[in-house]
């Protein structure tokens, strides 16, 4: 190509105009996209706000409905609670009345436990059953205690002391049974001795080998007057004083120990009219 055929510089198109058009087109596209995005965001926000408003409206409506139903539900629950509580109170009252009735029957039975002879006899039997072993043990102790037949013990014997060492249930029973309302003073020696004899006879009837030391002394006094072996044997069946052989053994035990002679004059006398 020749130099004359080349286009002139001013005849060439401007490249910046194309660039400007291209930028204008891109800017227009960006603006359209931005407007689209803004519209989409606005629609999304609008939808979200609409949904939120609808949800808030629904929740508000639900709260209103719950408040409307809350009253009846609480009222129903309270009614059921009151009814259950009333049922419990009724059951407790019924149980209380039954227990009161049972207590009244027990009190009546207790107050009438000694209302007739049969009941009192049964009560005495029950007490006696409880005291049998204790009584037997006390009698066994007395049988093994040979010192009670010694002269020193017999000289210091008192009914009150002897009774205080015996079975207190039996002693109190005899004491209460023989109590006299008109005699408010302390018991006399005679009455105490009779009470001791009564307890002594009970001991003798409980154990066949029991020998009463005080009744043995009483038999000795009778023997010193009557000089009769038969009296000793008969007395043994009545007062548990021991037979004639027991009486002789006791006399021999007393004579084993020689009593010293008293100082001064000594008189010896014999009774030729003794009855043997």
Tell whether the torsion through CA atoms of 193, 219, 249 and 143 is positive or negative. negative
Domain ranges of the chain: 16-109, 117-255
pLDDT for 243 equals: 86
pLDDT for 221 equals: 87
pLDDT for 34 equals: 45
CA distance to 108, 109, 110, 142, 219, per residue, from 113 (Å):
8, 6, 5, 36, 44
pLDDT for 202 equals: 93
- Global pTM reads 0.56
Other beta carbons less than 10 A from residue 85's beta carbon: 10
pLDDT for 259 equals: 64
Spans of the chain, pLDDT less than 70: 1-78, 182-187, 256-261, 267, 270-276
Q: What's the mean pLDDT when you consider all of the chain?
A: 76
Return the CA Rg of the chain: 63
State how far the Cα of 220 lies from the Cα of 240, in Å rounded to an integer.
13
């Amino acid at each position: 190509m020749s130099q004359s055929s080349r286009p002139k510089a001013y005849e060439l198109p401007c490249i910046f105009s194309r660039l400007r058009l291209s930028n204008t087109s891109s800017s227009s596209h960006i603006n359209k996209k931005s407007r689209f995005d803004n519209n989409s965001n606005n629609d999304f926000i609008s939808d979200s706000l609409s949904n939120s408003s609808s949800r808030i409206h629904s929740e508000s409506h639900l709260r209103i409905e719950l408040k409307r139903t809350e009253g009846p539900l609480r009222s129903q629950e309270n009614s059921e609670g009151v009814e259950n509580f009333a049922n419990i109170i009724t059951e407790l009252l019924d149980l209380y009345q039954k227990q009161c009735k049972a207590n009244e029957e027990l009190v009546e039975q207790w107050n009438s436990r000694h209302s007739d002879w049969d009941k009192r006899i049964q009560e005495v039997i029950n007490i006696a059953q409880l005291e049998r072993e204790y009584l037997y043990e006390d009698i066994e102790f007395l049988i093994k205690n040979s010192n009670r037949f010694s002269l020193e013990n017999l000289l210091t014997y008192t009914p009150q002391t002897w009774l205080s060492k015996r079975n207190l249930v039996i002693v109190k029973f005899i004491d209460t049974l023989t109590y006299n309302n008109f005699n408010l003073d302390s018991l006399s020696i005679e009455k105490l001795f009779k009470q001791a004899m009564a307890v002594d006879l009970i001991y003798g009837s409980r154990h066949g080998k029991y020998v009463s030391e005080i009744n043995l002394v009483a038999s000795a006094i009778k023997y010193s007057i009557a000089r009769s072996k038969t009296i000793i044997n008969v007395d043994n069946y009545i007062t548990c004083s021991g037979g004639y052989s027991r009486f002789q053994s006791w006399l021999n035990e007393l004579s084993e120990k020689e009593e010293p002679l008293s100082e001064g004059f000594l008189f010896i006398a014999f009774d030729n009219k003794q009855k043997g």
